[in-house]
Amino acid sequence: LKHAYPVPAVSHLLTSLAGGKVFAKLDLAQPYQQLVVDKKNCRCTNNNHTSRVKRLQFGVSAAPGIFQGVIDQLTKGIPGVLPYFDDILIAAKDVSMLAKRLA
């Protein structure tokens, strides 16, 4: 399983935070396992053993790129929201704006 979605560089994310003065970080629980694997890609081979998986598994080399692509699409266009792997950083210029973004 190959996947070439680019994971953003930390330096690019830090540049995106310009203007942010207060921040919140959401840490997603077991994010890969939230994604269903289609039947075409459900076979997993490990040490000469083949199994079928229903959810994206941690440890699969393509998993970070796959998940990053999904979370980028889900948060696209939301001001002050920056996803990075299983963390979502929310930036705002003040506490009031941050509270609105978290609501």
Answer whether 35's CB lies under 8 Å from 67's CB: yes
Mean pLDDT along residues 5-16 = 86
Give the domain ranges of the chain. Answer: 10-102
Domain spanning 10-102: CATH 3.30.450.20: no
Strand pairing class (87-92; 81-84)? antiparallel
Question: What is the model's pTM?
Answer: 0.77
Answer whether 91's CB lies under 8 Å from 80's CB: yes
Backbone phi, psi, residue 60, to 5°: -75, 130
Percent of the chain with pLDDT over 90: 43
Mean pLDDT along residues 9-33 = 90
Number of residues in the chain = 103
Q: Measured between alpha carbons, how far is 2 from 16 in angstroms, rounded to an integer?
A: 28
